Structure 1
Amino acid sequence: MSGPASPLPLLIDGHLDLAWNAARGRDLGLDLAALRAGDPVAGETATVTFGELRAAGTRVCFGTLFALPRSGESPEGYTDHAGARAQALAQLDQYRRWEDAGQVRLLRSGSEVAAHLAAPAGPLGVVLLMEGADPIRDARDLPFWVGAGVRVIGPAWGRTRYAGGTDAPGPLTDAGRELVTAMRELGVTLDASHLDDAAFWEALDLGPQVIATHANSRALVPGNRQLSDGMVRAVAGAGGVVGLVFLSRFIRRGWEAGQPRAALEELAAHARHLAALVGWEHVGLGTDLDGGFGQEKAPAGVDRYRDVPLLLERLPPEHRADVAGGNWGRWLTRYL
Structure 2
Amino acid sequence: MTRLPVFDAHLDLAWNAQLGRDLTLELDDLREHDPVAGQTACVTFSELRRAGVAACFGTLFACPAGEDYPQGYEQGEKDGWKGARRQALSQLDQYQRWQDAGYIRLLGSGAEAAAHVAVWTPEHSGPLGVTLLMEGADPLKSASDLDYWRAAGVRLIGPAWGRTRYAGGTDAPGPLTGRGHELLIAMRETGVALDASHLDDASFREAAPLQPKMIASHSNSRALVSGNRQLSDEMALSIAEHGGVIGLVGHSKFIRPGWEDGDTRATFAEWASHAGHYSEIFGWQHVGLGSDLDGGFGLEKAPAGIQRYEDVLRLLDEVPEEVRDGVRGGHWLKWVEANL
Same topology, TM > 0.5: yes
Alignment of 1:161-172 (within 5 A): 161-172=165-176
Matched residue, 2:268: 264
Give 1:8 shift: 5.2
RMSD: 0.9
Matched, 1:57 2:57: no
Alignment of 1:145-184 (within 5 A): 145-184=149-188
What amino acid is aligned across from residue 24 of structure 1 in structure 2?
L
Give 1:205 shift: 1.9
- Number of paired residues? 331
What amino acid is aligned across from residue 262 of structure 2 in structure 1?
G
- Picking from 186, 189, 194, the partner of 2:193 is 189
What amino acid is aligned across from residue 51 of structure 1 in structure 2?
S
Alignment of 1:1-336 (within 5 A): 9-79=4-74, 80-121=80-121, 122-336=126-340
Displaced runs of 4+ in structure 1, greater than 6 A?
none
What amino acid is aligned across from residue 63 of structure 1 in structure 2?
G
Q: Distance in 2 between matches of 1:215 and 1:324?
A: 16
1:164 match: secondary structure:
coil
Would you say the 8 A contact 2:137–2:157 is kept in 1?
yes
Would you say the 8 A contact 2:104–2:127 is kept in 1?
yes
Would you say the 8 A contact 1:268–1:311 is kept in 2?
yes
Q: Deviations over 1:7-43 (max 9, x none)?
A: 7541000000000000101000111110000000001
2:307 match: secondary structure:
coil
1:85 match: secondary structure:
helix
Q: Distance in 2 between matches of 1:185 and 1:260?
A: 46
What amino acid is aligned across from residue 10 of structure 1 in structure 2?
P
Q: Distance in 2 between matches of 1:8 and 1:294?
A: 27
Give me the identity figure in percent.
Answer: 63
Q: Distance in 1 between matches of 2:120 and 2:259?
A: 41
Q: Deviations over 1:185-207 (max 9, x none)?
A: 00000000000000001001213
Would you say the 8 A contact 2:54–2:120 is kept in 1?
no
Runs (5+) with no aligned partner, structure 1: 1-5
What amino acid is aligned across from residue 82 of structure 2 in structure 1?
A
Would you say the 8 A contact 2:187–2:211 is kept in 1?
no
Q: Distance in 2 between matches of 1:150 and 1:207?
A: 16
Give 1:222 shift: 0.3
Q: Distance in 2 between matches of 1:106 and 1:247?
A: 27
Would you say the 8 A contact 1:216–1:244 is kept in 2?
yes
Matched residue, 2:77: none
1:59 match: secondary structure:
strand
Q: Distance in 1 between matches of 2:38 and 2:84?
A: 25
Q: Distance in 1 between matches of 2:230 and 2:185?
A: 24
What amino acid is aligned across from residue 29 of structure 2 in structure 1?
A
Give 1:71 shift: 1.3
What amino acid is aligned across from residue 99 of structure 1 in structure 2?
Q
Q: Distance in 2 between matches of 1:234 and 1:183?
A: 18
Give 1:325 shift: 0.1
Would you say the 8 A contact 1:244–1:286 is kept in 2?
yes
1:297 match: secondary structure:
coil
Q: Distance in 2 between matches of 1:206 and 1:131?
A: 19
Would you say the 8 A contact 2:5–2:52 is kept in 1?
yes
Give 1:308 shift: 1.1
Would you say the 8 A contact 2:193–2:211 is kept in 1?
no
Q: Distance in 1 between matches of 2:117 and 2:269?
A: 29
Would you say the 8 A contact 2:174–2:203 is kept in 1?
yes
Matched residue, 1:3: none
Q: Distance in 1 between matches of 2:302 and 2:269?
A: 13
Q: Distance in 2 between matches of 1:52 and 1:248?
A: 21
Runs (5+) with no aligned partner, structure 2: 75-79
